[in-house]
Structure 1
Amino acid sequence: MTALREYEPAPGRLVEWHPTESTSDSLGEAREHPAPPSSFQENHLRRALANDAAGAVHSPWLATAFDLPGELDPVAMAGAWQRWVRRHATLLTWFENTGDELRRCALDAADVAFAPVEVGEYGSGADIRDHLLHRFATATSALSWPPFVLGAVLRPESSTVFFAVDHAHTDGYSIFLVFDELRRLYWEQITGEPAELPEVGDHADFAALERGREIGAEEQAAAVRTWSEFWLEGGSRPPSFPLPLGLGDEPRGKLLTERELFDAEQATAFGKRCREHRGSFPAGVFAALAIAAAELAGAESYRTLTPVQTRDEPRWAAAQGWFVNLVPLHFSLAGLRTFGEVLAAADEAFVRARAIAGVPVVKLVEMLGSRLRLQEDARTVLPIVSFIDLRRVRGSELWEAAGAQVLSGPGEGFDVPMWINRLRGLTYLKASYPDTPVAAENVARYLDRVQAVLHRVLAEGDHEFRGAAPLAAVE
Structure 2
Amino acid sequence: MIITALRNWRPAAGELVEWHPTEDALRAAGAAGADPDPGTFLQDNHIRGIWAKSCAAAPHTAYLAVTTEVAGDLDAEAMSRALQRFVRRHGGLRTWFTTDGTTVTRSSIAADEVVFQASSVGETAGEEQFRDYALARISSQALATSWPGFVLGAVTRAASFTLYYACDHALSDGASQALVLTEILDFYDNEASGHALGPYTSAPTGGFPDYARAEHDLARSFDRSSPELVEWVRTFRHHGNTMPRFPLDLGLAPGETAPMYGIEFDLLDGAGSAAFADVCRAAGGRYLAGILAAVAVTDLEMAGRREYYGMTVMSTRGLGDFLLTQGWLCNFAPLSFVVEGCASFTELVARANDAYDRAIRLSAAPLSSVLATLLASGADPSDVLTTPNMLSYMDFRRFPGAGTAPYERGMLFTGEGETANASMWFNRDSRHLYLGCQSPSTPFAQRQLRRYHAHLRTVFATVATDGDYSITPDREIADARHHG
TM-score scaled to structure 1, two decimals?
A: 0.94
Are positions 1:446 and 2:452 aligned together?
A: yes
Q: 1:372 to 1:143 in 2, by over 3 A?
A: farther
Match of 1:162 in 2: 164
Distance in 2 between residues matched to 1:390 and 1:67, nearest whole Å: 18
Letter in 1 for 2:277: G
One-letter identity of the residue aligned with 2:79: M
The one of 245, 251, 256 equivalent to 1:240 is 245
Q: 2: distance between equivalents of 1:149 and 1:138?
A: 10
Which is further off, 171-180 or 224-233?
224-233
- Deviation readout 1:125-173 (Å, 9 max, x if unpaired): 2111101111111111111111111110001131000111101111111
User: Which of the numbers 224, 229, 236 marks the counterpart of 1:231?
Assistant: 236
Aligned residues: percent identity? Answer: 34
- Check the 8 A contact 1:4/1:133 in 2, yes or no: no
Residue aligned with 1:308, SS: strand
Aligned-pair CA distance for 1:262: 2.1
Task: Give the AA of the match of 1:109.
Answer: A
Comparing 274-283 with 248-257, which one deviates more in the overlay?
248-257
Question: 5+ unaligned residues in a row in structure 1: which ranges?
Answer: none
Q: Which residue is 1:390 aligned to? A: 396
SS at match of 2:120: strand
Q: How does 1:259-270 map to 2 (within 5 A)?
A: 259-270=265-276
Cα distance in 2 between the residues matched to 1:438 and 1:324: 32
Distance 2:47 2:384 in 1: 10
Whether the 8 Å contact between 2:244 and 2:310 is mirrored in structure 1 is yes
Offset at 1:55?
4.6
Aligned partner of 1:85: which letter?
A: V
Which position in structure 2 is the counterpart of 1:463?
A: 469
Q: 1:402 to 1:336 in 2, by over 3 A?
A: closer
Within 1, Cα distance between the matches of 2:407 and 2:98? 41
2:204 aligned partner, one-letter code: E
Residues 431-460 of structure 1, C-alpha deviations (whole Å, 9 max, x = no match): 011011121111121111111111211222
Matched residue of 1:376: which SS? helix
Distance 2:196 2:295 in 1: 45
Indicate if the aligned counterparts of 2:4 and 2:436 stay in contact, CA closer than 8 A. no
Pair 401,17 (structure 1): closer, same or farther in 2 beyond 3 Å = closer
Q: Which residue of 2 aligns with 1:185?
A: 187
Pairing 1:425–2:427 present: no
Deviations along 1:179-227, whole A, 9 cap, x unmatched? 2111111101111122232211111110011112255569953222322
Q: Deviations over 1:352-400 (max 9, x none)?
A: 1111222112322123325375873999643210011221211121357
Secondary structure of 1:36's aligned partner: coil
Aligned counterparts of 1:252 and 1:355: Cα–Cα separation in 2: 34
Go from structure 1 to structure 2 and tell me whether the alpha carbon gap of 1:225 and 1:123 turns closer, same or farther (over 3 Å shift). same
Q: How far apart are 1:306 and its partner, in Å? A: 0.3
196, 207, 211: which is aligned to 1:206? 211
Distance 1:400-1:118 versus aligned 2 partners, 3 A rule: closer
Q: Is the 8 A contact 1:50 1:379 kept in 2?
A: no
- Structure 2, unmatched stretches of 5+, are none
Task: Name the CA distance, whole Å, in 1 between partners of 2:383 and 2:222.
Answer: 30
Q: Which letter does structure 2 place at the counterpart of 1:101? A: T
Structure 2 CA distance for partners of 1:70 and 1:381, relative to 1, 3 Å:
farther
Cα distance in 1 for residues equivalent to 2:138 and 2:247 = 33
Query: Do the aligned partners of 1:39 and 1:363 also contact (CA within 8 Å) in 2?
Result: no
Change (3 A) 1:315 1:112: same
Distance 2:384 2:133 in 1: 29
Aligned residue type for 2:162: T
User: In 2, Cα distance between the equivalents of 1:195 and 1:95?
Assistant: 32
In 2: Cα distance, 1:185 partner to 1:44 partner: 30
* Alignment correspondent of 1:288: 294
1:263 deviates by: 2.3
